[in-house]
Structure 1
Amino acid sequence: MIESTDRIKKVKIAIIHPECGVSWNGGSQISAFEMAEHLAEHYNVELLCGEKVGTVSIVLPCIPRGRSANWLATSFWGSILGRLFGYPGMVIEAITSFLPYLFHLLKSKPDVIYPNNDYGGLAVAWVLRRLTGCKILYTERAGLLGGGHVLKRNMKFKPDHLVVFNQDTVNTVNVWYPNQSVSAIPNGVDLSRFSPCGDKFDFKLNGKLVLCVGTLNRKNHKRIELVIQAMVKVPQASLILCGDGIDKEYFVALAHELLGKDRFMQMSLTFDEMPKLYRSVDSFTLPSANEPFGRVYLESLASGTPVVATDDSMRRTIIGDAGLVCDVENTEEYAQVLEKALDTEWGSKPLEQANKFSWVEIALKYKAVINSMLVDKTEKNTLV
């Protein structure tokens, strides 16, 4: 029976993400890191990852996706693997991490295992549960993207509790998997890192500054070309594109052609430099299609920067009245809304909206889920 805070602190949570600390190009590794740090206030937490980061990380041998990316993008065998698997870096990560992570977890014996690297971590968790009886907590970050095909695949591992980002996805899960325990908990933002206060970059570009952050890949759902095209019709402002990817040269060439070098800059920053970037601009935008969540919107808001985004239910929930949504596929409309965002005095609205998604509060929601996973119905009333 779990009866006190001290006893709860002894509960061991293992969080998995081999890419965490290796790169910060995806929201899942950032969420895994920030979740580990905040849950460590309540439990005995270890973050199994590829590089030392934070206070609770344990580095285990494997080949995270970021370490194979250049080889896969430039080699003959990489092109072959790409045709076979679609995202071969994930396959390599899953295969090389399986045994090192499983052997470590068999020794550490966590009460709850929380994989954040898709099917690779879920496979480890499934085997560990069969061997030790631990519980699996899983957050499906792809949501219903692509008709929910990633969700359907990952549900084959039968997590003890599933977390999704909104009630619409909960309702769908209830229909597809009536016996699945599921909760809606949004992503969080670390308000101790992202703030309107602090140093800013001086980009020496013309006019006000619009920022877009995303992976530079023409085949993904970020649709970076839409913001470049819209910015042509916002001549009083410049675009900063932060990100990297296999199509970086394409997007840089397109922006230089349409905007000119005095109205465009591409950059790649470290994890620690991102807060400074967000507060150095006048507006943020990302025209993704079917973005399952989009933590970059929260990071912008927490930095005091308003947002312009795709008009869908998730974006309206995240942005509230601290930004604007529109039909980003309509270049004229997108440009007009970008102009409106730059001309509006937003005051404290962005920060007030970000406060609703503080990691401190989000971690407490996860704590409630974890506690419910560890006690039976007769014990719930005794849990602190």
Structure 2
Amino acid sequence: MKKNIAIIHPEAGFSSSGGSQLSAFEMAEHLTEYYNVRLLSSSKCSDRSVVIPCIPRGKIKKLQKIKFLDWLLTRLASNPSLLIESITSFLTYTPYLILKRADVIYPNNDYGGLAVAFIIRKIFKTPILYTERAGMVSNGKVLRRNLKFKPDCLVVFNEETRRYVKSELPSQRVEVIPNGVNLSLFNPKGERFKHGLKGDVILTVGALNKQNHKRIHLAIEAVSKLNNVSLLICGDGPDVAYFKQLCLEKLGAERYRVIKVKFSEIPAVYRSVNAFTLPSEDEPFGRVYLEAMASGLPVIATDDAMRRSIIGNAGIVCDVINAEEYAAAIDSALSNNWSDKPLNQAAKYSWKSVAEKYSHIINSL
């Protein structure tokens, strides 16, 4: 008989803008080859969805666009959307999993899902599989917190994080499996988004928040130093007006667009440009780099071990803080003939191969 796997992510059916909810959805789709899979979410998003009511983080984030409510909520917690999702999902998902038992529980929504899985393990000894998507962000603060739940197997994205986990908790089982990309969805063939920009177009994707680690302003500064190059920004957030004004000052009205699209339209956005960049300070993995390469695009990114590994010979890493060096890297990426290098690099991270690696772990639990 096939094992019953319960994948948890309340946001999976509500929003498709984050890496964890997309990964939960993709994992549910691809693990069905091996198991009976249920994706526990607050909204219907696939045939594998089991809708269990709670307040997903996306609903709270919408409320936070109102300044007074944002001020009030941030008095309660530094990340109120995650806290409220965690509390409300704990109250509904835990009873469900007591009544509808699983052979393995795979939470994907940080400490909220881990808390549910922890209680179920206490009652039924159900093993917990967990992927730490925060990696070494904030010097491993989130990682250290989640290690307290002691999942039966922790999956991380790279060797650096694995070594850190073993130094913090030598008894913890840790496996290294990279993130995946849907090659049937992200590829060079298909419709292109009509952005109306002229010349070579660079795409960047990320939340438009001055306080986060995406550093979209660095991409704006670098593109401003090039001729006949435009910037397409795909994202939303509390500081959209700020970034639009910065683009207007640095690039002029004809050399930028800021867009917000549905997830189903994102592949067309990738196909409509010449290269991709994201100068974020740190990334646990960087799913958007895979999506870009799978769409045939060269990537320009921050120079660190993780991005050197992901991008390989399909792009250029550089010191993005240095605007001149960053601009030169973009110019070089636009000038080179990358042939099939981005596609070949992305093929190493297909969801099929990733799901197969996860199946080996699940079978061992």
Common fold: TM-score over 0.5: yes
Matched, 1:292 2:284: yes
Cα drift, residue 76 of structure 1 = 2.9
Q: CA RMSD in A?
A: 1.0
Aligned partner letter, 2:226:
V
Aligned partner letter, 2:287:
R
2:210 partner SS? coil
Could you tell me which of 170, 185, 197 is aligned with 1:193? 185
Matches within 5 A, 1:89-100: 89-100=81-92
Question: Which residue of structure 2 lines up, in the alignment, with residue 376 of structure 1?
Answer: none
Cα drift, residue 244 of structure 1 = 0.6
Cα drift, residue 187 of structure 1 = 0.2
Distance across 1 between alignment mates of 2:17 and 2:5 = 25
Question: Which residue of structure 2 lines up, in the alignment, with residue 4 of structure 1?
Answer: none
Distance across 1 between alignment mates of 2:193 and 2:155 = 37
Distance across 1 between alignment mates of 2:60 and 2:164 = 35
Question: Which sections of structure 2, spanning at least 5 residues, go unmatched?
Answer: none
Distance across 1 between alignment mates of 2:229 and 2:102 = 52
Render the CA deviation track for 1:86-130: whole Å, top value 9, x for unaligned.
110001101111121111111210111111110111111101111
Could you tell me which of 107, 127, 133 is aligned with 1:141? 133
Cα drift, residue 75 of structure 1 = 5.1
Matched, 1:216 2:208: yes
Matched, 1:46 2:48: no
Matched, 1:159 2:151: yes
Question: Which residue of structure 2 lines up, in the alignment, with residue 367 of structure 1?
Answer: 359
Q: Is the 8 A contact 1:63 1:92 kept in 2?
A: yes
Cα drift, residue 300 of structure 1 = 0.4
Question: Which residue of structure 2 lines up, in the alignment, with residue 301 of structure 1?
Answer: 293
Render the CA deviation track for 1:174-226: whole Å, top value 9, x for unaligned.
11110000001010001111111111123221211100000111111101110
Distance across 1 between alignment mates of 2:315 and 2:222 = 17
Distance across 2 between alignment mates of 1:329 and 1:189 = 28
Question: Which residue of structure 1 lines up, in the alignment, with residue 171 of structure 2?
Answer: 179
Number of aligned residue pairs: 365
Matches within 5 A, 1:204-243: 204-243=196-235
1:360 partner SS? helix
Distance across 1 between alignment mates of 2:214 and 2:349 = 22
Render the CA deviation track for 1:238-258: whole Å, top value 9, x for unaligned.
000001111111111111121
More divergent stretch after superposition (201-210 vs 269-278): 201-210
Matched, 1:28 2:20: yes
Distance across 2 between alignment mates of 1:77 and 1:328 = 35
Distance across 2 between alignment mates of 1:369 and 1:118 = 20
Q: What TM-score does the superposition give when structure 2 sets the normalisation length?
A: 0.98
Q: What TM-score does the superposition give when structure 1 sets the normalisation length?
A: 0.93
Question: Which residue of structure 2 lines up, in the alignment, with residue 328 of structure 1?
Answer: 320
Question: Which residue of structure 1 lines up, in the alignment, with residue 80 of structure 2?
Answer: 88
1:134 partner SS? coil
Render the CA deviation track for 1:223-282: whole Å, top value 9, x for unaligned.
111001111001211000001111111111111121112100011111111111111110
State the percentage of identical aligned residues.
Answer: 55
Distance across 2 between alignment mates of 1:252 and 1:73 = 17
Distance across 2 between alignment mates of 1:354 and 1:323 = 12
Distance across 2 between alignment mates of 1:314 and 1:219 = 22
Could you tell me which of 63, 71, 76 is aligned with 1:79? 71
